[in-house]
Amino acid sequence: MYFSLKPASHILFLESHLLVYFRNFRANFSSFSQLNQNVSSFQRKFVGEVKRCEELERILAYLVQEINRADIPLPEGETSPPAPPLKQVLEMQEQLQKLEVELREVTRNKEKLRKNLLELTEYTHMLRVTKTFVRRSVEFEPTYEEFPPLENDSLLDYSCMQRLGAKLGFVSGLINQGKVEAFEKMLWRVCKGYTIVTYAELGEPLEDPETYHCHVYPYPNTAEERKEIQEGLNTRIQDLYTVLHKTEDYLRQVLCKAAESVYSHVVQVKKMKAIYHMLNMCSFDVTNKCLIAEVWCPEADLHELRRALEEGSRESGAALPSFMNTIPTKETPPTLIRTNKFTEGFQNIVDAYGVGSYREVNPALFTIITFPFLFAVMFGDFGHGFVMFLFALLLVLNENHPRLNQSQEIMRMFFNGRYILLLMGLFSVYTGLVYNDCFSKSVNLFGSGWSVAAMYSSRHSPAEQGRMALWNDSIVRHNRVLQLDPSVPGVFQGPYPLGIDPIWNLATNRLTFLNSFKMKMSVILGIIHMTFGVILGIFNHLHFRKNFNIYLVSIPELLFMLCIFGYLIFMIVYKWLVYSAETSRVAPSILIEFINMFLFPASEANGLYSGQGHVQRLLLAVTALAVPVLFLGKPLFLLWLHNGRGCLGVSRSGYTLVRKDSEEEVSLLGSQDVEEGNNRTDDGYREVMCDEFNFGEILMTQVIHSIEYCLGCISNTASYLRLWALSLAHAQLSDVLWTMLVRVGLRVDTAYGVLLLLPVVAFFAVLTIFILLVMEGLSAFLHAIRLHWVEFQNKFYVGAGTKFVPFSFRRLSSKFSDDVA
C-alpha cells in the first residue's frame, strides 16, 4: 500500500515553460515544497496575478448570484477546460469587467423602475380606497386652516377653544398592515387623542423592496383633480410596465449568454489561481532568470514528471529546455498511499486517526475485513443486514449518476462510504445466519437438531425411565415450562449445520445461553485482534531495522498477552471440546479457574485437566519474567549502545535520514551502522548526538509505554465486551419492535386483521429503518471505529506522518455552490 518517494526532485525551468507545464498538468505525481518561507505573502513574485484571479472570482461570484436570482440554470460541462494563457486571462478580465458594469447599471435601472412603479401603484390604490370614506362635493368643500409649524409654535400652546375652532384636515398614505396598531398608538400620543384614524385593507399585497415605513401621498381636493390624477397614473403605470418588461428581457438575455460560459470561466480562474499559488512557492533566480522548484515525487512517476517538463518546453517553443535533478535530503518523505474507489473509504477511517509514517505498516489493508466484521458482530441480523446490503448495492450500481455526486451532505456521506456499507451489510448477513436472527425471529433452514418426542417416557425402556427425567401426559399438562435433557438418547441429534439451532428461539433460557456464547466469542475475537496488532508491530521493527525492539518489546508483549489472555482462550475452547452434555454438570467454571490462576489455591481437585496447576505456574513465571524485560530491556540496551558502541551516522536506502526526534533514534544510529556496514559519518554531528542522549527520558518513556500496555491488555480485553453488549441490545430492540407491533397485528380478528396489518407493517418498517438500521447502525459503526483506533492500531501504528498531497487540477472543486455562496 506504500510507495517509495524520491527525496526531492530539483526542477529548474523558465517561467514560460512552467506556465505551459501547469496548464497541461493532469497527473498526481508531485508535491511542491515551500521555498519562500522567509518572504512575506505580499512580497512574492506572483502576488499581483493572485489578486487578479481573486478579482475575477469576485466578478464570477456576482454573475452566478444574479443568474441564480433570475432562475436561469447553470450548465456544468463534463470536460474540464485547460488553464488559459496570460493573454487570454487579460481578455477574460476585460470582458468580465465590462459585463459586470453593464449588469450593475441595468440592475440599478430596473430597481429604480420597480420603485417608481410601486409608488404609482400605491398612489392608485390610495385614491381608490380613500374614495369610499371621503365624500365631498364642490359646494360643501371646506377651507382648510393649517396648524402652525412645530418649529415656530407648539400645538400644545393652543387653548381648547382655539383647537375647537380650527378647521380639520387629513393626510392619506399606505403602511404595512402589521404596523397599523403601533401607528395608531403613535398618533394618539403625539396628537393627545385629538385624531381620527380610518384605514382599509388593499385588495392585493404590495411589496416594497427597500423599506416598510409609512408612505404619504397628496390627496386632491376636487373630484376633477382626482379623476385627472387617476388617468395620469394609469398611463404612467402602463408605460413603466412596458419599459420594465423590456429591461427584464434584456437583462435575462445578458444573463443567459453569461451562463453559457460562466462554468468554463470559473474552472479556468481556479486553475490559474492554483498555478500562481504554486509559482509563489518556487524560488526565483535573478541571475539566470529562471524558477527553481522542489517537489516530492514517487519513484514510479519520475518519467511522467520528465515527460510533462518536456511537453511544456516543446509547447512554449523556448530554445532552453527545462530540466530536473534528484537531490538528497535529510527530511522524512510524506506518505503516499494509492487507493481506489473501493479502498478509499477504509483508508479515510485510518487517516482520521493519523496519517501513517513513511513506510509504516498500513492498517487499512486489514481494516477492509476486520472493520465490517466487528460491525457485523454487533449488528448481526440477517434481515437488517440484507436491507443495508441492498441499499449499498443500489448506490454502487448507480455510482456514476450525477445526482448522487451532487446530493446533500448526509446522502453524499452515505455515497462516499457505499463500499463500507456494502461489506457491513454482507458481513451482517453472515453473522445473522450464525446468530439465526432475522428481524428477531429464527429461521429453520436445515431442521432442528433437537427432538421433543424423544423426551416422552413411552419411547424408552423401563430401566431408562427410572434413570432419566422423562415426560408423560401429566407432566406436559401441569407444567408451563418443560426442559429438554440432551443426555437422553435421541433428544440431541447433532449440532445445527450453520449457527444457532432455531429451537433456542422458543427456550426460556435463550437469553442466558446467547449471553454466554456472545460474551466468550467477544473475548476470543478481541484477544486475537490485539495479538494480531502486536505481530504487525514486528514488521515495522524489521523494516526500520530496529531488531532489538523485536526481542525487547514485541516478544515480551506477546508473552504477556498470550500467557494470560491467550491461556483464557485455551480454557474456553478446551471446555467446549472436552465437556459434553453428560459431563456438563461437573465442568468447572472458567471464571473461577482463571481467578485461581493468580491466587494459587491449596486445593486443585476440580481442574480442567491434569497438571493444570503446573502449567499455570509456568505461564505466570514467564509473564513475571517478561514484565521487567519490557520495562528495562530497551533503555538498558540503548544505554549500552551509547556507552560501548559510540555514536555513528547512518545512511538509509532511498533517502538520507538524520533525525533528532527521539533519544531512541540517537542511540540506534550506531547499531544500524554495524548491521549495514556503513561507517560514513560526520564527526561534528556525532558529538551533538552524543550530547543529546538522555537515559532518564528514555527510561521514563519506556516505563510509561509498558504500564500503558500491561494495563491496556486488561482494559482493552474488557472493551471488546462491547461486541456482546451491542449485539444483545440490537437483538432485544428488534424483539421489542416485533412483539409490540407485528405480533399484535397478527393476533387481530381476521375480519379486520388485513386492514390493520398494512399500517402496522408500514410503521414497523419505518421504525426498523430509523431505529435499528440508522441509529443502531451508527452506534455499531462508532464502536467498531473505537475498537480499531484504541484497541488495535495503538499496538503498532504511530500515525505521525505527513500525507502526500500532490498538485493536481483534479483536486479543484468544479461546483458553483462551494465557492460562490
- The residue segments making up the domain with residue 511 are 342-449+494-644+694-795
Is residue 239 assigned to a domain? Answer: no
67-94 pLDDT per residue, tens? 888 888 887 665 677 888 778 888 888 8
Which triple of cell numbers denotes residue 487? Answer: 443426555
- What's the rounded Cα separation, in Å, for the pair 237 and 233? 6
Is residue 317 assigned to a domain? Answer: no
Supply angle C-alpha 281, 347, 296, rounded to 5. 25
- 3-state secondary structure at position 371: helix
Q: Average pLDDT, stretch 186-212? A: 71
Report which residue type is found at 522. S
Q: Which of 334, 323, 304, 294 is nearest to 655 (CA)?
A: 334
User: What is the tally of structural domains in the chain?
Assistant: 1
Q: Average pLDDT, stretch 250-270? A: 87
Sign of CA dihedral 81, 82, 86, 87: negative
CB 19 within 8 A of CB 272: no
312-329 pLDDT per residue, tens? 778 777 667 777 888 887
Is residue 98 assigned to a domain? Answer: no
Is residue 629 assigned to a domain? Answer: yes
Which triple of cell numbers denotes residue 318? Answer: 523556448
Confidence of residue 3 (pLDDT cuts 50, 70, 90): very low
Judge whether residue 689 has pLDDT over 80: no
**Residue 330: which region, alpha, beta or left (left: phi > 0; alpha: psi -120 to 50)?**
alpha
- What's the rounded Cα separation, in Å, for the pair 7 and 28? 17
List the alpha helices (DSSP H) in 401-553: 402-405, 409-416, 418-435, 462-467, 473-478, 510-543, 547-549
- What's the rounded Cα separation, in Å, for the pair 318 and 479? 100
Burial class of residue 152 (count of CB atoms within 10 Å of its CB; 0-12, 13-18, 19+): exposed
Q: In this structure, what DSSP letter does residue 258 have?
A: H
Mean pLDDT of the chain: 80
Which triple of cell numbers denotes residue 285? Answer: 533566480
Is residue 194 assigned to a domain? Answer: no
Judge whether residue 817 has pLDDT over 90: no
Is residue 185 assigned to a domain? Answer: no
Q: Which of 204-208, 680-684, 712-716 has the lowest mean pLDDT?
A: 680-684
Report which residue type is found at 679. N
Q: CB within 8 A of 782, min separation 6: which ones?
A: none
Q: CB within 8 A of 160, min separation 6: which ones?
A: none
Is residue 547 assigned to a domain? Answer: yes
Phi, psi angle pair for 680, to nearest 5°: -75, 130
Is residue 70 assigned to a domain? Answer: no
Q: Which of 27-31, 287-291, 565-569, 789-793 has the lowest mean pLDDT?
A: 27-31
